[in-house]
Amino acid sequence: TRAAGGGPGDLGGRARGHDRWGRSGVLEREVGESASAMGSDTKHSPRGMLNHPGRPGKLYCGLVALCYMALAVALLFFNKAALSSYKFPNANVITLAQLACSNVLLYAFRKLGWVRFTDDVALIPRDCIDAKSGFPTQKMFRRVAPLSAAYMVYMLLSMASVRGVSLPMYTTLRRTTAAFTMGAEYFLAGTSQPAVVVRAVGLMVLGAFVAGLHDLEFSVVGYAYVFANNAATAAYLACIARYGRTSGLNSFGMMWCNGMMSLPALTTMTLLTGELQSLHNYGHLYDPDFQSVLMASCVLAFSLNYAIFLNTSLNSALTQTICGNLKDVVVILVGYHTFGGVAFDPLNFLGILLGFAGSVSYAYVKLVR
């Protein structure tokens, strides 16, 4: 959902050609879009009908990369359309719908034998996978509970953060997630990054600060949500590094566990807050256009997570990094002319350019190391 920013459009898939469970460190996951959104970090390709058989050609790999970029941009815009253009008041309900859609599709695909939730049964802890059905057991759900909890917080904040800021500023501010992750690595694990990496991350933070100084649509609440989402993303990636590599689950298995554990909690929360009950008061609820936007958001959230997984499995780190930065360029350029447009301000645009330059520098440093 991330994306919503991955869900939501983000998670943002930050594993870019490295060991997906953290061998290169959590910070390497910040090069691009979060595989986040639904737990898409993985080490191996799951066997099944959804995988391309044999060794894929360059054309196929290129199409996968283009699909990833198109889906990432489309999901962000559909989420933004539902929350801003249609002024849908309940962001958590969209997240709930995306989770439900993902669970239904994963269940159907698993029953049809199109996907598996593990790549190597030998890597699975004892009694964590049902031998007959291939679904995770309650023991597995208990093992990955902290990861699923971090994922749900990340998903909720991702969707909420899309509403409060323009798309160009959203993209710029989200890049500062690397700073949050770098700080978490230093204080929690005592890991420090080389000076060249710190400078690149510092340039991203400087760009966000400069852009924010002259953001004509500045919102304290909107910025707070984005930075809270950045912190939640860093925590989620840290949980992936700690719990993901010991679970033995692949991308689809993590998506299933995250969805199954988050769905009851999120349903309860939306009931307690009255969001579900208040749906009948929303004027566009039965509008076919709004329903199409919501349905597209749900399908795109699932499709993006699979595209992120496939892209990280088939393409090089360089290809994926280029995809992430090209996607950001598209979001920034189109974002200036959609959803009411964004008033152009030279200093604000300079900050956005600085943030983009920092992102490119960071990606280059990580790729040549």
Q: Name residue, tokens 């929350």.
A: 83
Give the C-alpha separation, 308 to 166, whole Å: 24
pLDDT score, position 38 = 34
The DSSP symbol for 277 reads: G
Give the C-alpha separation, 281 to 325, whole Å: 40
Q: Find the helix packing angle between 346-368 and 195-213, rounded to 10°.
A: 160
The DSSP symbol for 242 reads: I
pLDDT score, position 5 = 38
Give the C-alpha separation, 148 to 142, whole Å: 10
Give the C-alpha separation, 113 to 25, whole Å: 34
3-class SS of residue 8: strand
* Each residue's pLDDT tens digit, 210-223: 877 776 667 788 88
Strands (DSSP E) found in the chain = 2-4, 6-9
3-class SS of residue 249: strand
First-last CA distance in the chain: 31
* Each residue's pLDDT tens digit, 59-116: 887 788 888 888 888 888 888 888 878 888 888 898 899 999 999 999 999 998 888 8
pLDDT score, position 1 = 38
pLDDT score, position 104 = 94
Half-sphere exposure of 212 (CA within 13 A, CB side): 21
Q: Find the helix packing angle between 167-174 and 195-213, rounded to 10°.
A: 150
Cα-trace Rg, the chain = 19
Instruction: Give me the residues of the chain with pLDDT under 70, please.
Output: 1-56, 121, 188-189, 215-217, 241, 244-245, 309, 312-313, 315-326, 335-344, 366-367, 369
pLDDT score, position 343 = 65
Give the C-alpha separation, 248 to 348, whole Å: 45
Supply the pTM of this predicted model: 0.68
